[in-house]
Amino acid sequence: SDGYALLEVEFPLSSGLGINSGDTIAIAEYNAQQGALRRFCALFEWLGQSENVRVFFPDAAEASIAMQGAGLNPVSGQWAQEATFDDWNGDVDYLVNDDLFSQASMRAYGISQLPEDMAGKMAVEGNARVDDRLYVIGYPYDSSDELVQVMKLWKAHARRTIIFNGNLDSIRSGWFPWGDGKKLKEEFVPTIETAYYVHVFKGAVPGVLYRAYPGKWQVLRARVGGGLECVEEYDARPELKEVALKYFSGGLTSQAITSNVEPAEPLSDDNQAYYDALGVARDASSEELASAYRSKARALHPDVAGTENLSDFYAVSKAYAVLKDPEKRVAYDEYGERWVDAIKEEKDVKAAR
């Protein structure tokens, strides 16, 4: 709705001050990325739009594992991996050409070949369809060529695109003096808007650079005694090197938080608001909840209703995210919006006993 058609979503694979893309053993990390991508794509199933969302994996091998799973292979370091996109209602695709070398490599590592209608693709846009509404590009960071293929895909079709954990910082900070790499760095990557971003700074002074669109870029630094403080905000993306030198090269701090972010509204005990947001009765079945959510989400989606109803769209999404989970729904019915804190308090009491 704001006119951005190329979006970046980047976050660590583990919670807390964990790891960035590229920090761990390749195959194990790819398996984890695939699971995270599947959970992310569940959003489009909730919206009833998955059949028009084409999900791209870096190569044919990753696409095969996503669709068909893979067995344990000690030679390659591949742990047994269940299929993650075998139930995906949309299309699965891949970026890098599936040539004879790629197919031979898959056979050598015990990875199943792709279905005949997908195998052997020699152009990134080869399998795309006119009715694709959105491309989701999964973790294209193993080599710059994977992102070059994303650039070619964009030039061929200019579909709305989300790049998921693409480690674009490696392009922003890398040296690409000529060819496709130069175009990637100087022409393509600068056109990508960051929708959600977490970069972890590790070492003696841990912290993160954080951004959630349309908010500012925030530098969050660890404090003595635990927790994080916001030490600076930027209107535009800062250089990682600049942030690292300025805020993460000294000792821990105990100064007061300097962020001008408004404090969050206190949670209430109201246990009816989520049902009202969806327009359903308190005893609504899971099917009725899903139907009501899809109907309201379609009507309130920014692509349809514009940004003036964005808060209502978020309210509906939040309500469904809680009520669709039986355990969370029971907790909400008892505690209202305080259900997370209430459950945590109960666990703390039990642990103290």
CA distance 86 to 92: 9
How many C-beta atoms lie closer than 10 Å to residue 160's C-beta? 16
CA distance 35 to 30: 9
Report residue 54 CA to chain centroid gap. Answer: 15
Bridge partners, 91 (sequence order)? 54
Mode of pairing for the β-strands spanning 6-10 and 193-201: parallel
Residue 284 CB-half CA count within 13 A: 23
**Look-up: residue for tokens 């039990």?**
350
pTM beyond 0.75: the answer is no
Is the distance from CB of 30 to CB of 213 less than 8 angstroms?
A: no
Type of residue found at 258: T
Q: Does a cis peptide bond (omega within 30 degrees of 0) precede residue 238?
A: no
Bridge partners, 78 (sequence order)? 73
- At 223 the three-state DSSP class reads strand
CA distance 200 to 110: 35
Type of residue found at 138: G
The one-character DSSP state at 51 is G
CA distance 36 to 272: 31
- At 213 the three-state DSSP class reads coil
Is the distance from CB of 136 to CB of 159 less than 8 angstroms?
A: no
Q: In the chain, which ranges are E strands?
A: 6-10, 53-57, 91-94, 134-138, 160-164, 193-201, 207-212, 217-222, 228-234
Q: Which long-range contacts (CB under 8 A, 24 or more apart) does 233-237 make?
A: 233/259, 233/260, 233/261, 237/194, 237/211
In the prediction, which pLDDT does 111 show? Answer: 85
In the prediction, which pLDDT does 18 show? Answer: 47
In the prediction, which pLDDT does 75 show? Answer: 62
Q: Which residue in 164, 157, 132 sits closest to 39, CA to CA?
A: 164
CA distance 62 to 94: 8
List, run by run, the mean pLDDT of 10-residue segments along the chain (353 residues): 91 60 59 91 90 94 91 67 91 91 81 89 88 94 92 92 95 92 95 95 83 95 82 94 83 44 66 93 92 87 69 83 88 86 74 69
- At 328 the three-state DSSP class reads helix
What are the backbone dihedrals phi and psi of residue 319, each rounded to the nearest 5 degrees, phi first?
A: -60, -45
Mode of pairing for the β-strands spanning 134-138 and 160-164: parallel
What are the backbone dihedrals phi and psi of residue 335, each rounded to the nearest 5 degrees, phi first?
A: -115, -10
Is the distance from CB of 207 to CB of 220 less than 8 angstroms?
A: yes
